[in-house]
Amino acid sequence: MTQMTKATKHDRILLAHGGGGQLMDDLIRRHILPGLKNDTLDELGDSAKLDLASGSVCFTTDSYVVKPLFFNGGDIGKLAVCGTVNDLAVAGSKPVALTLSLIIEDGFEIELLDKILASIGETAGRIGVDIVTGDTKTVETGAADRIFINTAGIGIRLADVDLDFEKIAVGDKIIINGTIGDHGMTIISQREEIKFQSQLKSDCAPLAGLTVELLESTTGIKFMRDPTRGGLAATLNEIARSTALSVEIREIDVPVRPIVQAAADMLGFDVLTIANEGKFVAVVSPESADECLSVCRNHPLGKEAEIIGEVVETRDVPLVEIETRIGGKRIVQMPYGRELPRIC
Amino acid sequence: MCLAIPARIVELEQDVAVVDAMGNRYKTKTTLLPEAKLGDLVLVHAGFAISLVDEEEAKQTWQLIAEIDEFDDTQNKVSG
Amino acid sequence: MLDRINKAQNDINTACQTLGRQINIMEVCGTHTVSIFRNGIRSILPKNLKLLSGPGCPVCVTNQGYIDVVLQLADRDDCIIATYGDMIRVPGKEGSLETKQAKTNVKVVLSSEDALQLAKDNPGKTVVFVAVGFETTTPATAVVVKEATAGAIDNFCILSGHKLVIPAMRALLSEKNDNINAFLCPGHVSAIIGYGAFAEIVEEFDRPCVVAGFEPVQIIEGLCEICRQLSTGKAELKSMYSAVVTEKGNIAAQKIIDECFEPVDGYWRGLGKIPKSTLKLKDKYSQFDASKRFGISEEPSEEIKGCRCGEVLCGLIEPPDCGLFGRNCTPQEPVGPCMVSSEGACAAWFKYGRDK
């Protein structure tokens, strides 16, 4: 006799999966929970209760709408964990817990959802961060471009670490932990209208391990930020704007993979403005620069770290300038916010 | 007024080609360069090969190519 | 390459010192403008050597009337506009293609072939290809016009904004600007037309014409050669880009341009009317001419009050000399095309150099 099960196996998301009833319960228990297993999440309370040592916390949120969902070097799930973890990391904290909010289109393949969830679970597990609470919503086809994800994160601030724009001073050195432009060019290479085959690979990676090590083993780090959208250009301009100081970097010291440079050249993009998802910029005291560099280079995510420049006095307006390979000088402006491929 | 980069023809069928630039592969037409052959280095602009590129001169001309020992090298290496 | 650059730099310094006077070299190529700025080349040249950014930015010299026609077509539900990214932010009278992109019928393409493919994939719509560019880009348009003919792809058409470089250079020298001592000539246009095409400028106007590529070493060596010629007082035609440029150029490309297009008088923003300077589809291919198909023609454009793009294009003033520069006209809110196009003199100046 065949047994009728209440939860019928579906291969695509239905609107009912977001309805708070049987189907959603089934989705959570059979697809979402298993990969993210932890006691707090298993309670499925409306809120997660966290016992944290007293002190101060860092708290952040980010939404992830990347297309394509799967790309060389990662996927929207890995990105959703790394992006938020990295925001906590560069704020000088140790990430402990994340929320996970899914907005899924009617018709989205559950097999793909499972892949994304597995990626989230795997990435979070590797870092030692728990997804402690979440939410699932479904929307009509077309309303969410397949799937949107939001994660919020809490981190415990490291003792004696206070990263702040205000600490930045003339003479401070600027360090980046590796090559730029990898993530953005990888995504662009898979955009519908541009698509080209490539060995480009996103640098999507969780930085907390490296940043915690840096902050715990050195003194002298004044400020950190991850150069995501807008790239290195945007981050350096934010630093200049917030400190009213100027920044000078050297093109020859900025690490770029030839494959990334060539891809940017083909489309007329400036690699300085392309997004990164596994990089941070650190502003450090001149005395501590070499030591910081050494710590980075001994870590898998910092092998190609470089000191790329320094903070300098402002002449008239705070500017970011780059000394080019040929010894020329030019300004690095805040990017427009959208790179368009050129033929001219 | 003309963004164009050197790339090597790695596939060619009549005038439909695939070119490789440091590991990025692009669809390209060789309609404007009927003499182009598989393995040639060409200048690509707006999806078309517009000129053959002299290999030796390429190394003297383009920084990226000069830095790579064999520029079919598609390993990700840091430049500079 | 650094030693080549240093040597060329030294030679430029020596030559400019000897010459003793102000030297103005016009770079007739927007891609040169961007490269010069991106590499900070101006900052390593002697003070009496000035680089003028000429009308080599196909977007910048496109009349507003042309852009308005494109925007009108973008408003039609039966049209898909296929355009290179360069044109997306150029402002017309009412908005730009970027503001129209919300309508989803504006598609950025990297190649004319992509535009033709759009037509094949969307039989219910007419694809209008925004065909701008100089001689480097024109052959790509000609190829797809021929393919459309052969394949009877009736729902494809082009709005030709293609322009010719030499007539513009002649116009600059004949009427507009005696200030130009020499030209740094466009490397990739030369790959198509051959460096020999610039001989007439050397012969008739006695100006050095040096063809250079776009890497900093090539630009600086090109400038060095120009200074050398100016020092000897003998204007010559020279190509420094032998890696891709020959004297005769790409004959197959020239043939296909000639087969599909004919030069007609055209209006260039900032330069006014230049005889036989823009390309129109020949009658044989007129079915693919969007302006004929839709019965829309360009209206003469009204200059925007205060906008001095025209003078910038002729190298008569530098971007900061324009009252709107950096105030009402910025890359975020551009007024004139010189600011919109990433290789427009004003945009490049704004992005890369304030005091140079």
Name the residue ranges covered by the structural domains of chain C: 1-296, 309-346
List the alpha helices (DSSP H) in chain C: 2-19, 30-38, 64-74, 97-100, 112-121, 138-150, 165-171, 187-193, 199-205, 216-232, 251-260, 290-294, 309-313, 337-340, 345-352
**CA–CA dist C335, C313 (Å, integer):** 15
β-sheet bridge partners, residue C239: C211
Whether residues A61 and A150 fall in one domain: yes
Q: What is the pLDDT of residue A4?
A: 37
- At residue A247, does pLDDT exceed 90? yes
* Nearest CB to B29 within list C143, C186, C215: C143
* Nearest CB to C140 within list B1, B47, B63: B47
The three-point CA angle A144-A232-C319 to 5° equals 100
* Residue among A308, A322, A287 nearest A169 (CA): A287
Q: What is the mean pLDDT of residues C268-272?
A: 78
- At residue A41, does pLDDT exceed 90? no
- At residue C115, does pLDDT exceed 60? yes
The three-point CA angle C77-C132-A268 to 5° equals 100
Last residue of a domain, one of A157, A183, A207: A157
Q: What is the mean pLDDT of residues A191-219?
A: 90
Last residue of a domain, one of A157, A175, A190: A157
Which positions in chain B have a beta carbon within 8 angstroms of at least one beta carbon in chain A? 1-3, 5, 18, 21-27, 44-46, 63-64, 67-68, 74, 76-80
- At residue A67, does pLDDT exceed 60? yes
**Domain span at A251:** 165-331
**C17 with C329: CB under 8 angstroms?**
no
Whether residues A174 and A319 fall in one domain: yes
The three-point CA angle A204-A209-A212 to 5° equals 125
Nearest Cα of chain A lies from the Cα of C29 at a distance, in angstroms, of 9
CA distances to A98, A229, A328, C211 from A26, rounded to whole Å, are 22, 36, 62, 69
Which positions in chain A have a beta carbon within 8 angstroms of at least one beta carbon in chain B? 179, 189, 196-201, 251-259, 261-263, 265-268, 304, 325, 342-344
Q: What is the pLDDT of residue C260?
A: 98
Average pLDDT for chain A: 91
Whether residues A76 and A135 fall in one domain: yes
CB neighbour list of residue C105: distance below 8 Å, 6 or more residues apart = C74, C77, C79, C80, C81, C125
Residue A131 in any domain: the answer is: yes
Nearest Cα of chain A lies from the Cα of C157 at a distance, in angstroms, of 20
Q: What is the pLDDT of residue C176?
A: 59
Q: What is the pLDDT of residue A1?
A: 36
Residue A65 in any domain: the answer is: yes
**CA–CA dist A67, B57 (Å, integer):** 40
* Residue among A324, A188, A204, A332 nearest A265 (CA): A188
B80, A256: Cβ pair inside 8 Å? yes
Q: Closest-CA residue in chain C for B51?
A: C244
Average pLDDT for chain B: 84
> What is the rounded radius of gyration, in angstroms, for the C-alpha atoms of chain B?
12
Q: What is the mean pLDDT of residues A187-192?
A: 84
* B52 contact residues in C (CB cutoff 8 A): 244
**C276 with C263: CB under 8 angstroms?**
yes
Lowest model confidence (mean pLDDT) among A246-255, C108-117, C174-183: C174-183
Convert the pLDDT of each residue in C51-82 to its tens digit.
Answer: 988 887 877 788 888 988 999 999 999 999 99
- At residue C351, does pLDDT exceed 80? no
- At residue A39, does pLDDT exceed 70? yes
* Nearest CB to C353 within list A268, A325, A330: A330
Last residue of a domain, one of A124, A157, A190: A157
Whether residues A192 and A325 fall in one domain: yes
- At residue C302, does pLDDT exceed 80? no
* Residue among C132, C137, C204 nearest C169 (CA): C204
Whether residues A170 and A306 fall in one domain: yes
Whole-structure pTM value:
0.89
Task: Compare A20 and C125 and report the one with higher pLDDT.
Answer: C125
Residue A338 in any domain: the answer is: no
- At residue C347, does pLDDT exceed 90? no
**CA–CA dist A159, A93 (Å, integer):** 9
Q: What is the mean pLDDT of residues A181-207?
A: 89
Q: Closest-CA residue in chain B for A267?
A: B3
Q: What is the pLDDT of residue C198?
A: 97
Residues 6-65 (B) with a CB less than 8 A from some CB of C: 27, 29, 31-34, 43, 45-48, 50-54, 57-58, 60-63
Whether residues A203 and A274 fall in one domain: yes
Give whichever of A52-66, A150-164, C264-278 has the largest mean pLDDT.
A150-164
**CA–CA dist A335, A339 (Å, integer):** 8
What distance lies between CA A254 and its chain's CA centroid?
20
pLDDT tier at C321, thresholds 50, 70, 90? very high
Compute, in degrees rounded to 10, the torsion defined by CA atoms C219, C222, C223, C225: 160
Strands A221-225 and A281-284: antiparallel
Q: What is the pLDDT of residue C343?
A: 66
**C286 with C292: CB under 8 angstroms?**
yes
pLDDT tier at C338, thresholds 50, 70, 90? confident
Q: Closest-CA residue in chain B for C110?
A: B46
- At residue A6, does pLDDT exceed 60? no
User: Per DSSP, which regions of A106-182 are E strands?
Assistant: 130-139, 147-157, 173-176
Q: Closest-CA residue in chain C for A333?
A: C351
- At residue C352, does pLDDT exceed 80? no
Average pLDDT for chain C: 90
**CA–CA dist A81, A278 (Å, integer):** 12
Number of CB atoms found within 10 A of residue A1's CB? 3
β-sheet bridge partners, residue C108: C83
CA distances to A194, B22, C113, C185, C240 from B48, rounded to whole Å, are 15, 18, 9, 22, 23
Convert the pLDDT of each residue in B31-43 to its tens digit.
Answer: 999 999 999 999 9
- At residue B76, does pLDDT exceed 50? no
Q: What is the pLDDT of residue B79?
A: 32
CB neighbour list of residue A179: distance below 8 Å, 6 or more residues apart = A203, A255, A256, A257, A260, A279, A304, B78
- Where does C1-296 sit in CATH, by number? 3.40.50.11740
Q: What is the pLDDT of residue C346?
A: 86
Neighbours of chain B (3+ CB pairs under 8 A): A, C
- At residue C177, does pLDDT exceed 90? no
B50, C143: Cβ pair inside 8 Å? no
Q: What is the pLDDT of residue C354?
A: 58
Q: What is the pLDDT of residue A7?
A: 40
Whether residues A303 and A177 fall in one domain: yes
Q: What is the mean pLDDT of residues C237-262?
A: 97
Q: Closest-CA residue in chain A for B2?
A: A344
* Nearest CB to B46 within list C57, C140, C343: C140
Residue A151 in any domain: the answer is: yes
Nearest Cα of chain B lies from the Cα of C198 at a distance, in angstroms, of 17
Convert the pLDDT of each residue in C142-163 to its tens digit.
Answer: 999 999 999 999 999 999 999 9
Q: What are phi and psi of A120, to 5 degrees?
A: -60, -50
Burial of C304 (0-12, 13-18, 19+ CB in 10 A): middle
**CA–CA dist B18, C209 (Å, integer):** 35
Angle between helix axes A182-189 and A258-267 (nearest 10 degrees) is 50
**CA–CA dist A88, B72 (Å, integer):** 40
Whether residues A183 and A305 fall in one domain: yes
Is the bond into A68 cis (omega within 30 degrees of 0)? yes
Q: What is the maximal distance between C-alpha atoms in chain C?
A: 67
Q: What is the pLDDT of residue B74?
A: 41
Percent of chain C at pLDDT > 90 equals: 63
A193, C352: Cβ pair inside 8 Å? no
CATH code for the domain of A307: 3.90.650.10
**CA–CA dist A193, C132 (Å, integer):** 19
pLDDT tier at A49, thresholds 50, 70, 90? confident
Lowest model confidence (mean pLDDT) among A98-107, A245-254, C21-30: C21-30
Q: What is the mean pLDDT of residues C108-126?
A: 95
pLDDT tier at C303, thresholds 50, 70, 90? low
Q: Which domains are assigned to chain B?
A: 7-51 (2.30.30.140)
**C52 with C78: CB under 8 angstroms?**
no
Convert the pLDDT of each residue in A255-298 to its tens digit.
Answer: 999 999 999 998 889 999 999 999 999 999 999 999 999 999 99
Question: Three-state SS string across chain B, please?
Answer: CCCCEEEEEEEEECCEEEEEECCEEEEEECCCCCCCCCCCEEEEECCEEEEECCHHHHHHHCHHHHHCCCCCCCCCCCEC
C244, B34: Cβ pair inside 8 Å? no
- At residue C132, does pLDDT exceed 70? yes
**CA–CA dist C108, C114 (Å, integer):** 9
User: Per DSSP, which regions of A117-270 are E strands?
Assistant: 130-139, 147-157, 173-176, 197-198, 221-225, 246-250
- At residue A146, does pLDDT exceed 50? yes
- At residue B75, does pLDDT exceed 50? no
CA distances to A291, C83, C98 from C105, rounded to whole Å, are 54, 11, 11
* C57 contact residues in A (CB cutoff 8 A): 344
**CA–CA dist A38, A98 (Å, integer):** 12
What distance lies between CA A134 and its chain's CA centroid?
20
